[in-house]
A = this chain, B = another copy of it.
Amino acid sequence: MTNADLPQTISLLTRSPAALNALLRGLPEEWTLQNEGENTWSVFDVIGHLIHGERTDWMPRAKMILQFGETKAFEPFDRLAQLRESQSKSLDQLLDEFAHLRSANLSDLCALNLREDDLERRGQHPALGAVTLSQLLSTWAIHDLTHLHQISRVMSHQYRKAVGPWSEYLGVLHCTGHSS
């Protein structure tokens, strides 16, 4: 694996649900249901998006690489699915669901008993072209981090005025939303 190894990747994937749970469970809705303006996501939306990824993206794509290689392209990922699927759920329910799905997916990953040469097998991304299993699994972990980065920014946005002149020093308030 180039600049990544599987235990290192799994160490992060294992911890993300508990980290999000510790940060978000029970927080006032002023932090979790507000977004950054029209057509942007709240923390609630982001957790729904992570759930959809657990269901349809990472492990299904890993299995496709192993089964079909480059002969069959992945299904495109639906970036708006959570707007339908999270309706009528609470944030606490979403946090539970994410933790449960992640745990099951990591068990599935472990059961694949991947070897070094498996990690170099290639699949076909519908937009990016050829990608390796190693790249997919690394992206799974960094996708968690890109949304942790986004969550910290969305929450900070709610206090943009409240911090007064300190906004100058708070880098997160100068982030231009590249993770939305």
Contacts and interface: CB of A to CB of B under 8 A. Distances in A.
Contacts of A141: 159
B2 A142 contact: no
Contacts of A172: 142, 145-146, 149-150, 178-179
A10 B165 CA distance: 20
How many monomers of this chain does the complex have?
2
A37 interface: no
Contacts of A161: 2-3
A160 to B, nearest CB: 7
B180 A171 contact: yes
Interface stretch (A13-21, A65-73, A80-88, A108-116): A13-21
18 contacts: A3-B162, A8-B30, A11-B31, A22-B22, A129-B165, A135-B164, A135-B165, A136-B166, A138-B163, A142-B159, A142-B172, A145-B172, A149-B153, A152-B152, A170-B179, A171-B180, A175-B175, A175-B179
